[in-house]
Amino acid sequence: MIKRPVHPIEAFRALNELLRDPNDTEQAFRLVRAADAGAIDRIHARFVATEAGRALLRDRPSLLEALADTDALAAMPEGSLGRAYLDFCSAEGITPGGLVEASEATWTDEVGPELRYIADRLRDSHDLWHVVGGYRTDLFGELSVLAFSFAQTRNAGLGLLVAAGYLRSFTFAHASAGDARVLTREAFRRGRRAEWLPAVRWEDLLAEPLDEVRMLLGVGPAPSYTPVRAEELGLGLAS
């Protein structure tokens, strides 16, 4: 397995920018890749060790194309994962390809086609993890998805993001800050208990009832919490 270098200066620069503006998605990708330390290689090893992972690497289905087919998603049954995803994108004002540009700008080295496919698939499934987990794209919802993702992938950059966000929450005067820390800790525990989502063939689950998908993947029911946007805390605002 390749031991990839850690770029601490770049990682902490990206972290500093994110603390100033949590909506700067490009910095999140930059931090995760600067502190990767071989996490993508460990994920690849787990892919090739499982039948589901090997099938994905062999077939290379495009999750981005499946999620971008809004007509197909709209035709899926009410309550299905696909319809829930479509509603989520509409409510949050996002698109399936919204993370692509931010992701593409942060590649600093060449990786093989299998590693690139896995990295792209993880990126493209991020919002599906939101839907399955029951987290919005607010500040605390994103922190919880990152905690869940860290439990699943053990990427050091994600761990640094979660730790920084968790500690930063102690400085927030918002009434929900304490609840957000509980939400984040539970998200990490959910990530540890759940099936391994990186190798899930989401294309086969989009038409299935969301509640059944949650049960199948061992994610459990969606949590109840009050979404808080970064702007409500004075973060990411122009000075």
Count up the domains in the chain and report the number: 1
Task: Quote the pLDDT of residue 88.
Answer: 97
DSSP secondary structure string for all residues of the chain: ---PPP-HHHHHHHHHHHHH-TT-HHHHHHHHHHT-TTHHHHHHHHHHTSHHHHHHHHH---HHHHHH-HHHHHTSPTTBHHHHHHHHHHHHT--TTTTHHHHHTT--S---HHHHHHHHHHHHTHHHHHHHHT--SSHHHHHHHHHHHHHHH--HHHHHHHHHHHHHGGG--STTHHHHHHHHHHHHHHHHHS--GGG--GGGTTTSBHHHHHHHHT--SPP------GGGGT-S---
216 in a structural domain: yes
1 in a structural domain: no
16 in a structural domain: yes
Mean pLDDT of 189-195: 98
3 in a structural domain: no
pLDDT single digits (tens) 32-43: 777 776 788 899
The partner residues of 80 in beta bridges, in order of sequence, read 209
Mean pLDDT of 137-164: 93
239 in a structural domain: no
pLDDT single digits (tens) 203-221: 999 999 999 999 999 999 9
What interhelical angle do 25-34 and 8-20 show, nearest 10?
Answer: 160
Of the listed ranges 65-69, 78-82, 145-149, 165-169, the one predicted with least confidence: 165-169
Give the C-alpha separation, 69 to 1, whole Å. Answer: 37
131 in a structural domain: yes
Mean residue pLDDT across the chain: 87
Task: Quote the pLDDT of residue 238.
Answer: 39
